[in-house]
Amino acid sequence: MKILIVGAGAMGSLFGGRLKARKEDVFLYNRNNPHVEKINHSGLTIVERDDQETTVTLTVVQEASKADAYDVVLVMVKAHATKSVLANLQDSFSPETLLITLQNGLGNLEILTELFPGNPAVAGTMGSGASVESDGRILHRGWAKNYIGRSKDTVAQEKLLEFIELLNRSGLETELAENVQRVIWNKLFVNVAYNSLTALTRLRNGDILNTGEGQGLLRSVVTEALQVAKAEGISMDTEEIVAKCLQMGREDIGANKSSMLMDILNKRKTEIDAINGAVAKLGKQHGIETPYNELITGIIKVIEANYDLQID
């Protein structure tokens, strides 16, 4: 199976590196940058849970064409970059190529189906976590399960099952999700909590829970998101979800620097619109007040619009 991972950042590198370590036929796609150059020149180093390091030879390409015959394309850029990055690849895949998004936030599958209406496309979520520590070197610091929803296309579904098998063999625990909308909301609750709060406080995920105030803020943003989810037809128990988010922060993802924290540290645009912003926007549509998510979205937007003016 030939795989193209679009986006050679933290997660693209983790998935690409783990698959390549198992000798799978995988390539990354990214514009050139120092991290990409380092991977192409000296390989990708993954620092694992026990601080053991693996370096794999991996190729990051800047072009792709139908002749490359990719079976699966995994989208691993930030949500706001999907359209512009994939627009360059619109003629690069055959109609059978299966497109998969595991990106955080809402609306990712819709972007894929809009850009590639003739291709099978599925969505899912990542429980894995990682950050680019320096060029060519990533820290694998999140170990929960990944989920991918079914494809209605029987040929694509076969491919998907094979891909899931490859991920599992590569040590990235992944399951087929029967109710992918529920899975996506479940992940969104974790992201509304940790991504924005860690970006604002510049803490690792688990350190949000060091204070009662941090835990209280987590509960408030997650409770608002749960109310919006309910209005969208996804009903879940508040105490169960809050407890799950707390547990994940203490265990599976506690040591990770969230992807939004990394964006803030690197003075980049964040995914706030697809995460807390999406909750606030849907809340408005349903007449549900979301003051915490609205405030947090506003503050992140002020920060990302004014990086140049920040006082050190």
Ligand X SMILES: CC(C)(CO)C(=O)C(=O)O
Provide the annotated active-site residues: 187
Interacting partner of 270 out of ligand NDP, ligand X, none (Cβ under 5 to 8 A depending on kind): none
Cα–Cα distance, 150 to 44 (Å, whole number): 31
Is residue 261 a contact residue for ligand NDP (CB under 6 A)? Answer: no
Q: Which stretch binds ligand X (CB under 6 A): 70-78, 210-218, 231-239, 251-259?
A: 251-259
* Residue 13 engages ligand X in binding (rule: CB under 6 A): no
Three-state DSSP string of 214-232:
HHHHHHHHHHHHHHHHHHC
150 vs 244, beta carbon nearer ligand X: 244
* Spatial separation of the C-alpha atoms in residues 75 and 48, rounded to whole Å: 23
Contact flag: residue 90 with ligand NDP (CB under 6 A) = no
Is residue 12 close enough to count as binding ligand NDP by CB under 6 A? yes
166: nearest Cα among 309, 12, 61, 23: 23
Site mask, ligand X, residues 124-143, x = CB under 6 A? -----x------------x-
Q: What is the CA radius of gyration of the chain?
A: 19
The site map against ligand X for 67-106 (x = CB under 6 A) is -------------------------------------x--
Which residue, 196 or 259, has its beta carbon nearer to ligand NDP? 259
Token pair of 68 as six digits? 């490359």
- Looking at 256, 270, 276, 290, which residue binds ligand X (CB under 6 A)? 256
Local structure of residue 92 (DSSP, 8 states): S
Torsion angles phi and psi, residue 15, rounded to 5: -65, -45
Binding flag, residue 253, ligand X (CB under 6 A): yes
Single residue of 3, 46, 77, 228 touching ligand NDP by CB under 6 A: 77
Distance CA 263, CA 286 (A): 30
Helix (H, G, I), strand (E, B) or coil at 251: coil
Q: Which stretch binds ligand X (CB under 6 A): 47-55, 84-92, 190-198, 214-222?
A: 190-198
Q: CB of 62: closest distance to ligand NDP in angstroms?
A: 10
Give the one entry of ligand NDP, ligand X, none that residue 194 binds, where binding means its C-beta sits below a cut-off of 5 to 8 angstroms depending on kind: ligand X
Q: Which span (108-116, 178-186, 217-225, 252-260) binds ligand X, by CB under 6 A?
A: 252-260
Strands (E), the chain: 2-6, 25-29, 44-47, 53-56, 60-61, 72-75, 98-101, 121-125, 128-134, 137-143, 146-149, 174-177
Q: What 3-state DSSP class applies to 134? A: strand
Interacting partner of 138 out of ligand X, ligand NDP, none (Cβ under 5 to 8 A depending on kind): none
From first CA to last CA, the distance across the chain in angstroms is 48
What residue ranges bind ligand X (CB under 6 A)? 104, 129, 142, 190-191, 194-195, 205, 253, 256, 258-259
